């Protein structure tokens, strides 16, 4: 599909990931304009937003709550406008780490052992040993992520994680190599390895320029690479995802993958990980954005090429 379109890019929004989303959306809008499309930018800070008249497709460059949890998808479904990425239900599941974990376990996808915790008064759970990770259940971009190395750190880390949500996921910490695999139109892209230069890959490390090295394709043997990609695809299917997503996968010393979580609307700056993986597969940034639009338009029954 190469004809010029009227596209609304939704960016920003009310979540804790607003600044990242603004950067994603601006990059997407520039790319789509470079292809000849007419592009509007819409920042849905209030739920009373309205799409510009003539919008044919919406490109979702939102991250975090509202944009990534199924809320905006439900509204766009009600408007009958095609949009990029997962539908409302897969978005809801993918954004909720506890629901995602349930789907992964049901589908037999390898993933770390976990438990839910809802109170700052919770004691160290029986049967667990450090190190563990605490994750707010409904946040993205490592917001509120806490690494607990000893029992003495438990209370403070739990209180901090619960500042960002009413429920946290306690997860065993997998020691190994950190990777991520993008999924695009039913196939896995080249694997990216994430190597923080110091400490752990948390929110600060993720968004501080120069603090992390990203290797793509990841320097892994073919068998390990294939296992990571297979785990990513299995996770993608387990939550009912469509079009594209990014799956974070830890790789243990024996090469076995363990899926951490999914990102149904991954970062879309030109240096974000999904565009890096697409570039390694020979897909330019602008062509990646176009592909995402094309996948959305396949769901528009009244669009000329779908009649």
Query: Could you say which of 64, 263, 272, 294 is catalytic?
Result: 263
pLDDT of residue 209: 61
* Greater model confidence, 16 or 24: 24
User: Which letter, b or e, does each residue of 174-212 get, where b requires 16 or more Cβ atoms within 10 Å of its Cβ?
Assistant: bebbbbbbbbbeeebbbbbbbeeeeeebbbebbbeeeeb
pLDDT per residue as tens digits for the range 158-215 = 999 999 989 999 999 999 999 999 999 999 999 999 998 766 655 555 555 666 899 9
- Catalytic residue status for 267: yes
- C-beta atoms surrounding 275 within 10 Å: 24
Query: Could you say which of 69, 165, 261, 294 is catalytic?
Result: 261
Are 134 and 161 in contact by the 8 Å Cβ rule? The answer is yes
pLDDT of residue 56: 96
- Catalytic residue status for 244: no
pLDDT of 306 > 50? The answer is no
Query: Could you say which of 141, 142, 258, 272 is catalytic?
Result: 141
Query: Could you say which of 17, 69, 96, 171 is catalytic?
Result: 17
Mean pLDDT, to the nearest integer, of 61-75? 95
Give Cα 301 distance to the centre of its chain. 28
Q: What percent of the chain has pLDDT over 70?
A: 92
pLDDT of 30 > 50? The answer is yes
- Catalytic residue status for 66: no
pLDDT of residue 199: 60
Of 227, 218, 173, nearest in space to 200 by CA: 173
pLDDT of residue 133: 95
pLDDT of residue 208: 55
Mean pLDDT, to the nearest integer, of 55-66? 96
- Catalytic residue status for 17: yes
Residue ranges and CATH numbers for the domains of the chain are 6-85+287-306 (3.40.50.20), 93-110+175-264 (3.30.470.20), 114-172 (3.30.1490.20)
Q: Where are the alpha helices (DSSP H) in the chain?
A: 18-34, 71-79, 88-95, 97-106, 154-161, 203-207, 222-238, 273-280, 285-297
Sign of the C-alpha dihedral, residues 275, 45, 73, 68?
Answer: positive
Are 42 and 57 in contact by the 8 Å Cβ rule? The answer is no
pLDDT of residue 198: 65
Query: Could you say which of 41, 68, 193, 248 is catalytic?
Result: 248
pLDDT of residue 47: 87
* Greater model confidence, 144 or 7: 7
């Amino acid at each position: 599909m190469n004809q010029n379109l009227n596209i609304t890019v939704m960016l920003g929004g009310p979540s804790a990931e607003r600044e990242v989303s603004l950067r994603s959306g601006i990059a997407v809008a520039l790319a789509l304009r470079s292809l000849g499309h007419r592009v509007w930018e819409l920042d849905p800070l209030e739920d009373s937003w309205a799409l510009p008249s003539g919008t044919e497709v919406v490109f979702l460059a939102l991250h975090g709550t509202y944009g990534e949890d199924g809320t905006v998808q439900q509204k766009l479904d009600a408007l009958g406008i095609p949009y990029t990425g997962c539908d409302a239900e897969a978005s809801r599941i993918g954004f909720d780490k506890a629901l995602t974990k349930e789907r992964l376990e049901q589908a037999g996808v390898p993933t770390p052992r976990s438990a839910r915790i809802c109170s700052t008064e919770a004691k160290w759970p029986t049967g667990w040993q450090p190190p563990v990770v605490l994750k707010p259940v409904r946040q993205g971009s490592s917001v509120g992520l806490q690494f607990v190395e000893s029992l003495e750190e438990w209370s403070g880390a739990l209180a901090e994680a619960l500042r960002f949500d009413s429920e946290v996921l306690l997860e065993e910490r997998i020691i190994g190599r950190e990777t991520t695999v993008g999924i695009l139109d039913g196939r896995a892209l080249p694997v990216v390895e994430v190597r923080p230069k110091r400490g752990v890959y948390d929110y600060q490390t993720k968004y501080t320029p120069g603090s992390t090295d990203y290797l793509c394709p990841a320097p892994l043997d073919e068998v390990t690479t294939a296992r990571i990609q297979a785990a990513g695809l299995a996770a993608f299917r387990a939550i009912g995802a469509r079009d594209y997503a990014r799956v974070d996968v830890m790789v243990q010393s024996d090469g076995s993958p363990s899926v951490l979580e999914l990102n149904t609307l991954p970062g879309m700056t030109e240096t974000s990980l999904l565009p890096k993986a697409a570039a390694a597969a020979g897909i330019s940034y602008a062509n990646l954005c176009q592909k995402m639009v094309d996948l959305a338009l396949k769901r528009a029954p009244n669009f000329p090429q779908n009649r």
